Chains A and B, each alone.
Chain A
Amino acid sequence: MVAPIPLPMPKNRWIAGYLLVQAVIALLCVILFYRPDLPLPPHEYRLTHAEVSTDAKTWTQAQLPYFRPRDIPPDTPVLLRTEFAYPSADAEKAWSIFIPRFTSGVEIVVNGAVILDSRRMRSVGRIDRNVAVIAPIPLALLHDGANELVVRLHLWGPLTGYLDAPYAGPDSELRQAYGGRAFLFATLPLALAIWQAMVGMILGLIFFARPHERAYGWLAAAMAVGTVQHFIPMPASALLRGLLGASGSLECALAVHFAAHLTGLRIRPWGVFLFLPAALVLLTALLGPAELLPTIYGLFGLPSIGLFVSMVAVILGRAAVARRDWSLAYLGSTLTVVAVFWVHDAMTIMDALPGERILLGRLSYSTVLIAIGLGLTWRFVQALNQADDFTARLVEQVREAEKKLRASFAREEEQSRKEALAAERTRLMRDLHDGLGGQLVSIVAMAEQTGGTKIGDAARAALKDLRLVIDAMEEIDGDLMLVLGSWRERMAAQLRAHDIALSWQVLKPEGLPIFPGLRPWHVIQIVRLLDEAVTNAIKHSGAGTLKVVIDSVAGDDGSPGGRITIEDDGRGFCAQEASSDPGHRLPGGRGLLNMKKRAEFCGATLDIASGGNGTRVDLWLPASAGLAAPGEASFPHG
């Protein structure tokens, strides 16, 4: 049964299916990450109320978490004052202040002494990384009972001010939550950055070795930017701030180029404009006033990321649908994940989502970039495998072709060998024709005229043998019938001259089987053997009819072969009688031995039976005749 060929799905169904899959992916992202269950210390240590001041003089009541728009100069911190109770009975336990989340910088002041300044800590300033801080309180600072905690909230960057409710309590109670967050928001991004660097390096190497694989180059560049931005600390100089602000947009622009090259979309000349938002952010950081940067970033940097991510998703999705390409569908789906988290982050920044201000875009982007890199590497390896397969097939084909060529050379050689033999035969024939042949014919003619029958017969026999030798020189490719055809003509003429009737019977339409091993020197022996049998019948039997039967038969052991039988209706002979009469060369003695030798030489079997009703010579040739027989020179002539 023929397996049904799967018909490609209609395009509309592909589009619908693709969009459905993307929706499911987005939904899963929301369900899994909408409110990640981030670790928090026990609720009893949470401080939920504070007094807020910008000048340390007028204080207002505020709820924690606290949100603050950027309505004050960059160098002026917002002060949040609160109290916590420290039981001195706990003196042997170390106490700490833990702030799960803030934007953008904090100083923690306990009883008037600064115990932590996040601006001095590399990477803690990276607001996109949701870093928590924990500050152990020196024991000497703590009083029994109420203690004052002031958090100075510094505002910079594109985000508004935010302070989650701090925790004040035993370090042992707070440390676990801090450790969990540090792993998620510090260690994990670092691991991803390093991973991204390595994948980027692999892609870069591929691109370096195969510059026409542009897509790999673009993605490697995006990964390089992603890796570098990870190590930019905040707050920092104007240049670094600009680079950091531009990095997201730049990475996404590079990703658009990657998608375009991967899918063969023509992106020039407008592709260069993709880098405009990143350039604008960088220039603002370098040339413009410091206050302008968050605005420009908010207006161009952040939206361009969302736009570019959508573009990549659309480019890959379209190509996946158009080409029914599963690997492109996979890449497109990863972009959906990034887009979801970009929306999440945008809403978080606009305080449209309740709860902690957690940004997930960067984390998801890094993960997705790695997924794409791995996908590409996989594609590359698949391509290598295909190339290997192709090479293997090619090698196989070359081997086949070589084999055929060699066989054809062998045929060619065999052919030219045959041609050389034929040419030699022609030359020899002309020589014999002009010389020996003509003289023998003259002898025959003169003998007939002078009545020298014996001389005539001898000359005729010599001519016959001459023809046999020339005839046998032609390659017959094991088809003995071709030789028997000529033999029949010569023999029939001989029999006619002696008034002996010839009964020639070929029992099978194909005559004899092919004997691949028979060479010209075997053929001569076979024909001479047959000639001797016929000559014996003519000379000694007094027969009126000679019967030649040619048949294709299996031997006693079942192997294929052929049989040539020569039978006369003469008086037969007796071996003893023949050998006792040396003057009369009957076939019993040397002649018979000679025939047997000839048969043996060719690997054939000869049976001679003679009686009152005539003589029967049976020559059986196995199909392998001549194959295992000795070479040309070894026949004992005699």
Chain B
Amino acid sequence: MASATAAERTGEPISVLILEDDAPTRWRIADALSHHGEFDVAEAATLAEARQRLAESDPDVLLTDLQLPDGNGMELIREVRQRNRTTEIMVISILGDEQSVISAILLGANGYLLKDAFPTDIADTVRDLLRGHSPISASIARFIVRRTQERPGRAGHSDLDTARLTPREIDILWGIAKGFSYADIADHLGISRQTVPGYIKTIYRKLEVNTRGEAVFEALQQGLIRF
């Protein structure tokens, strides 16, 4: 967020790196962002290409697919996150399914983007992200709160550790899962509407795992993650 505000202040374009192996998809996302002069869009189709780009400098925003010809996008998420905390990371997902989105969140991603999202929505989502609004879908919220309800110890250890979430944060997730707007949620809980996005960002940060633990990363990468 710090870098975003810095970019806004200086008026410099926001650097975005798109890592997506399917060319038409990559182009339409790039087009959706390039339309507006505010974004400086770079593209990569493979992990190797992306690493080359990142070697020069970290972008403000990284949009990455997971299934890549030469590896998994999660490796890149981890590398960037270990290097800095300022780059906003989003997963490009086809279905917005929990398997890929939650894995990315655990590694430090801040949200996800649907591959078929309308061009205006794509730009809006990136802009929201830079303003500190981590997008969260109803199904992801539902998935997380479902885990908080499970009896501890029943299914053994879960990599999705919801124990650190406060009751308020869980209430907010419930509201999102049930389709309430941020305004409605804020009204129900008696909090300011502007603070809801902040809560969501906190939730993401709390769910992030310590990726220095190689075992967890291996599990995440291989889809062996225990939710």
Contacts and interface: CB of A to CB of B under 8 A. Distances in A.
B179 interface: yes
Nearest to A476: B142
Interface string B160-180: 000000000000000011111
B25 A441 contact: yes
Contacts of B95: 429, 432-433, 437, 463, 466-467, 470
A445 B25 contact: yes
Contacts, number: 104
A395 interface: no
Nearest to A440: B116
Nearest to A436: B94
A463 B116 contact: yes
A440 B137 CA distance: 21
Interface in A123-167: none
A509 interface: yes
Contacts of A479: 178
A488 interface: yes
Nearest to B150: A415
B139 A471 contact: yes
Contacts of B137: 486, 489
Contacts of A497: 118, 120-121
A399 interface: no
A57 interface: no
B138 A467 contact: no
Given A434-B67, A440-B116, A488-B179, A482 B138 contact: yes
B69 interface: no
**B25, B67, B138, B177: most-surrounded residue (chain A CB, <10 A):** B138
Nearest to A449: B24
B28 A449 contact: yes
A489 B138 contact: yes
A532 B199 CA distance: 35
B116 A482 contact: no
A539 interface: no
B178 A485 contact: yes
A493 interface: yes
Given A448-B28, A449-B24, A486-B137, A493 B188 contact: no
Contact of A506 (B24, B138, B184): B184
A438 interface: yes
Interface in A388-444: 426, 429-430, 432-434, 437-438, 440-442, 444
Instruction: Classify chain A: how many residues form its interface, as a range.
Output: 35 or more
Contacts of A430: 99, 223
Nearest to B180: A506
Contact of A429 (B99, B115, B121): B99
A329 B166 CA distance: 65
A511 interface: yes
A482 B177 contact: yes
A286 interface: no
B28 A445 contact: yes
Contacts of A487: 179
A496 B118 contact: yes
Contact of B142 (A429, A460, A485): A485
Nearest to A467: B95
B100 interface: yes
A28 interface: no
Interface in A474-533: 474, 479, 481-482, 484-489, 493, 496-497, 504, 506, 509, 511
Contact of A437 (B94, B99, B138): B94
B8 interface: no
Nearest to B140: A486
Given A482-B142, A493-B121, A438 B179 contact: no
Contacts of A267: none
A446 interface: yes
Contacts of B116: 440-441, 444-445, 459-460, 463
B197 to A, nearest CB: 16
A441 B178 contact: no
A448 B121 CA distance: 15
B191 interface: no
Contacts of B138: 482, 485-486, 488-489
A88 to B, nearest CB: 113
Nearest to A437: B94
Contact of A496 (B28, B99, B120): B120
A438 B24 contact: no
A66 B28 CA distance: 142
A486 B139 contact: yes
A434 B21 CA distance: 13
Interface string B103-128: 00000000000011110110000000
A631 B94 CA distance: 32
Contact of A485 (B28, B120, B177): B177
Contacts of B117: 493
A459 B28 CA distance: 15
Given A442-B24, A482-B142, A496-B120, A504 B94 contact: no
A433 B97 CA distance: 9
Contacts of A426: 99
Contacts of A463: 94-95, 116
Contacts of A449: 24, 27-28
Nearest to A463: B116
A442 B99 contact: no
A432 B99 CA distance: 13
Contacts of B179: 481, 484-489, 504, 506, 511
A144 to B, nearest CB: 115
A438 to B, nearest CB: 6
B141 interface: yes
Given A441-B94, A449-B24, A489-B138, A482 B178 contact: yes
B22 interface: yes
Contacts of A448: 28
Interface centre among B22, B177, B181 (most CB of A within 10 A): B177
B96 interface: yes
Contacts of A486: 137-139, 142, 179
Given A482-B138, A486-B139, A442 B181 contact: no
Contacts of B28: 444-445, 448-449
A442 B22 contact: yes
14 contacts: A426-B99, A442-B24, A445-B27, A445-B116, A449-B24, A449-B27, A466-B95, A467-B95, A481-B179, A485-B139, A485-B180, A496-B118, A497-B121, A506-B184
Given A441-B94, A504-B179, 16 more contacts: A429-B95, A433-B93, A433-B97, A434-B67, A441-B25, A441-B115, A444-B116, A446-B24, A484-B178, A485-B139, A485-B176, A485-B180, A486-B139, A486-B142, A493-B121, A511-B179
Interface of A: 426, 429-430, 432-434, 437-438, 440-442, 444-446, 448-449, 459-460, 463, 466-467, 470-471, 474, 479, 481-482, 484-489, 493, 496-497, 504, 506, 509, 511
Q: Top 5 A-B pairs ranked by shortest CB distance?
A: A485-B138, A445-B24, A485-B179, A481-B178, A437-B94
